[in-house]
Structure 1
Amino acid sequence: MDKKQVLKTAAYDVFSKKGYKATAISEIAKQAGVAVGSFYNYYDSKKAIFLDVYVDENNRVRQAMINELDWEMNDMVGLVSQIFRRSRSYVSSNKILMEWYNPLISDELHKYYSSEEGKVANPFHQFLVETFTNRMVEEGYSQKKIQEILQVYNLFYYMDMHITENDFSGISKTVEILATYFIKGILK
């Protein structure tokens, strides 16, 4: 295993136990068995290594969601509810993913995931767009209608990347309600 991976593994362990704020670069370096100066050969800052750890953890958790959910179910409202419910459950039980709401690092996370690079490198986002697009094609939606629906999905994605609980109390539950009623409206 190369040193960068050793550092990332150590960082994952320390961040998982202590959270972002309470973790020091010196702890990560010590656990990885490298000098603090060597840390900076691989990462510019604690934020940089945390982003690397967060992206991997988010991808791991979202892949678990993809594997667990029944994507073929006919009840689209139920599927959307399951996505939100599972997401809340996974995030609330994961110290690394809970940092999404931490003002010390959330701007960095939101900036990454709202960037074009972050969107393209987000397998869960790509999976949702592809899965729902294919489903709409199979159900006979016109390309115009599919593009309109995907534009609304992009708005949900935008809200998730830019609005935090500090900005709007209850945002995640509110987005779920909005998405649920949007799906109900489409299916009428």
Structure 2
Amino acid sequence: MKDTKTLLFNCGKELFSRKGFKDTNVSDITKAANIGTGTFYNYYSSKEELFMAVYLEENEKLKKKILKSMDMNQEPGSLVKELMLSNLKGMKSNPILIEWYNKDVAYKIEQYFREQNGLDRLEFMYHDLFNIIKKWQEDGKIRNDIDSRMIMAIFTAIVTVETHKEEIGLQYFPKLLDYLTEFTMKGLAAVSEVAAGRDELK
């Protein structure tokens, strides 16, 4: 049973990478796996469920690779900017993760995940960053009067903005993301840091 599920996963991953989510269907996957189409549904309820499994694995691998390469002792502002930049580059270079920038697919990803896991798991894209945020709050490096999940949602919103670049105006990217990240981190600075900045201006 495990071997068949792994086979379907690997065939799906290969086809999603080569053809994309939209142009891959269940029969393509089962044909590549050399099993009957009906057998697919013993392991996955839909193409969306299989794609979500592949997407989450690729996402986790990218995030771990990025975090491993980072100096975690940097100041929050510098670290978040570097994380965001590395994440965007990594997603755009991965044929699975780049589907996030396809509005129809992104909607399906979000809808499926929320149906399966609930609205309280908005941090699914950046679980490790979520833990870092909580640590920064505990250490007084960023504001702790804002719920850590809200901060996570703000970071997720910054990344999601790029999926609307056509409506906003292509001429503003990627600088717009830099500004949003910069302004967000300044707004999240710990109260003591904000006060110190005000004193310097006096």
TM-score range, shorter chain: 0.7 to 0.9
Alignment of 1:160-175 (within 5 A): 160=159, 164-165=163-164, 168-169=168-169, 173=174, 174-175=176-177
Query: Structure 1 residues 140 and 22, CA, compared in 2 at 3 Å: closer, same or farther?
Result: closer
Superposed displacement of residue 116, structure 1: 3.2
Given the alignment of the two structures, is residue 137 of structure 1 paired with residue 138 of structure 2, yes or no?
yes
**Structural RMSD (CA):** 2.9
**Per-residue Cα deviation, 1:117-155 (whole angstroms, up to 9, x for no partner):** 6446x2x633222212223322476xxx41326334433
Question: Hey, what does 1:116 align to over in structure 2?
Answer: 119
Ranges in structure 1 where 5+ consecutive residues have no aligned partner:
none
Q: 2:35 matched to which residue of 1?
A: 34
Partner of residue 200, structure 2? none
Q: Deviations over 1:48-86 (max 9, x none)?
A: 21112111111111111121111112x332212111110
Q: Which residue of 1 aligns with 2:10?
A: 9
Query: Which residue does the alignment assign to 1:82?
Result: 82
Q: Which runs of 5+ in 2 are unaligned?
A: 198-202
Q: Aligned to 1:5, what secondary structure does the other structure show?
A: helix
Q: How does 1:16-95 map to 2 (within 5 A)?
A: 16-73=17-74, 75-95=75-95
Aligned-pair distance for 1:6?
A: 1.4
Percent identity at matched positions? 24
Aligned residues: 182
2:146 counterpart residue number:
148
Write the distance in 1 (CA, Å) between the matches of 2:173 and 2:4. 37
Please give the alpha-carbon distance, in whole angstroms, between the structure 2 residues aligned to 1:119 and 1:90: 20
Letter in 2 for 1:147: D
Q: Distance in 1 between the 2:141 and 2:28 partners? A: 55
Alpha-carbon distance in 1 for matches of 2:173, 2:62? 18
C-alpha distance in structure 1 between counterparts of 2:9 and 2:62, whole Å: 17
The Cα offsets for residues 90-112 of structure 1, whole Å up to 9 and x where unpaired, read as 01101111111223322111224
1:104 alignment partner in structure 2: 104
The answer to whether the Cα contact below 8 Å between 1:113 and 1:119 also exists between their aligned partners in 2 is no
**Contact 2:137–2:144 under 8 Å retained in 1:** yes
3-state SS of paired residue (2:94): coil
Distance 1:152 1:48, change over 3 A: closer
Distance in 1 (CA, whole Å) between partners of 2:168 and 2:141 is 37
Q: TM-score, normalised by structure 1?
A: 0.79
CA–CA separation in structure 1 for the residues paired with 2:71 and 2:12: 33
Match of 2:103, SS state, is coil
Partners of 1:113 and 1:161 lie apart in 2 by 16
Instruction: Give the drift of 1:167.
Output: 5.6
